[in-house]
Chains A and B, each alone.
With several copies, the nearest count.
Chain A
Amino acid sequence: MTDLTDELDADAVFRWLTAAAAAVEREADQLTELDSAIGDADHGTNLQRGFASVVTALGKEPPSAPGAVLILAGRQLVSTVGGASGPLYGTLLRRTGKALGDAERVTGDQLAEALRIGVDAVAQLGGAALGDKTMLDALYPGVEALSAGGPDPYGAARTAADEGALATVPMRARKGRASYLGERSVGHKDPGATSSALLFTALAGAVADE
């Protein structure tokens, strides 16, 4: 079991993002289907395109610091995804990466802190708050659980993010495209929250492989 004192290197982050890309690839149809219900049916293909290009870019010349890996990945998402999720996820990864600085190894504590900075940046960029039925409803619980530490913080973060995503079902959307539906957005799981939960699942898997 990995706890927050364990260190992560660039390779661990690389594995995280590769696992995320695989998860997105696997779940793309599902994400698009969710987006079809309360959005415009492109969230799966958007992230597929984005994460595929992240993997390609990292494969070409993988940076040697976790922060740099995340910054490169974030830039890649901004440049290839488009839509709302491109700038938001791009910002998440870039700001998290920037917060990590250029250390070659970072602790789980440092990652948790950096992720919180990244998630805050997403909230600021998109102007959304908890409960607005967006990716934040998975990101915040995830990063919260991670920061809380304990014997299995990554597993706890995954669970919290999953639950956060699920908790968007009864919410009425107040941001993003789903907000146009008003009451009709109730009863559907938010696609962005769902993909955010995948990121935590991928993270838990990647550190467990260590």
Chain B
Amino acid sequence: MKMLINVPENVVADALRGMSAAHPELTVDVENRIVVRRDAPVADKVGLVSGGGSGHEPLHGGFVGRGMLDAACPGAIFTSPVPDQMTRAAAAVDSGNGVLFIVKNYTGDVLNFDMAAELAEDEGIQVGKVLVEDDVAVTDSEFTAGRRGTGGTLFVEKIAGALADEGAPLERVEAIARQVSQSCRSFGVALAPCTTPAKGSPTFDLPAGELELGIGIHGESGRERRPMMTSGEIADFAVDAVLSDLEPDGPVLALVNGMGATPLIELYGFCAEVQRVLDERRVPVARTLVGNYVTSLDMAGASVTLCRADEEMLRLYDAPVNTPGLRWGC
């Protein structure tokens, strides 16, 4: 597998150097692996910190900026960051109003962020935490590490970021983050696996003519393998999987997300089918976002995230955001 890289060991550091070159509005600490808003800490504002394994770009580093994250901590590829990163990030963004950690529910992320929270609290920083656990493909959370955090992360970071931008206190920012997290459900499919630089070969085999249903965003294979389906059939399957868990009774936000290597033209076509299914199920869609936002390196495929949205959440979703990966209203 060919990659546009120097050596596997330096992929994350090289990318951070590139972010630094392209985004003067960010402070990128390549050595310590932290991406921070240049104007941090923002006075009288709760600081939002997220992070996780690299390979999901633009998540999380691409969501640092006004109206979203104050800092992101990228780990090695598909490997949660270490506590030192989050502690350092918390110190960099805390204006005295506390810091919220937004954590995708993976054992590694949870453990490392927990350790970081303890350390940051030792340093006198008030820390809130919210878990994103939106992947309906993972059932029986009693017999698993619990639902994974995937596409819903974007909505949590966007909406909580907007409330923080308005100057709300930590407990309110944490509460809305939790509300959004609990209102999101996702389902993903892979048409082709991804290849990590360190391994250099696909993370799983997927025969021609088959697809994986219920994949994660770390190259994990899915819950089930089936003969290839059309875009319309995939939309039926994915949307129904999400809806059966979410049961929305009002408008939703929809994210039609690419896994990295699926062309935008295919994603838009898939979006049309997702919209069709939602119409058929009489679910009103308030906003639709289409693109590669929560990716899995060069995996081909897509995920659908739906988020039950009340008026306040919609208002905050629409609020200005200015980050490399998501930008509107300013």
Contacts and interface: CB of A to CB of B under 8 A. Distances in A.
B79 interface: yes
B216 A180 contact: yes
Interface in A156-186: 172-177, 179-182, 184
B108 interface: yes
Secondary structure type dominating chain B contacts: loop
A81 B145 CA distance: 20
Contacts of A181: 220-221, 223
B198 A42 contact: yes
B79 A82 contact: yes
Size bin of chain A's contact surface: 35 or more
A118 to B, nearest CB: 16
Contact of A42 (B77, B82, B114, B138): B77
Contacts of B53: 40, 42, 82-83
Nearest to B113: A87
A45 B10 CA distance: 13
A103 B107 CA distance: 34
Contacts of B111: 84, 86-88, 125-126
A32 B199 CA distance: 7
Nearest to B215: A180
B27 interface: no
B260 interface: no
Given A40-B218, A46-B76, A87-B112, A79 B83 contact: yes
Interface of B: 53, 75-84, 106-108, 111-112, 114-115, 137-140, 143-145, 148, 196, 198-199, 203-204, 216, 218-221, 223
17 contacts: A36-B204, A37-B204, A40-B216, A40-B219, A82-B80, A82-B81, A82-B112, A83-B53, A83-B75, A84-B111, A87-B108, A175-B144, A177-B106, A177-B145, A177-B216, A180-B223, A184-B221
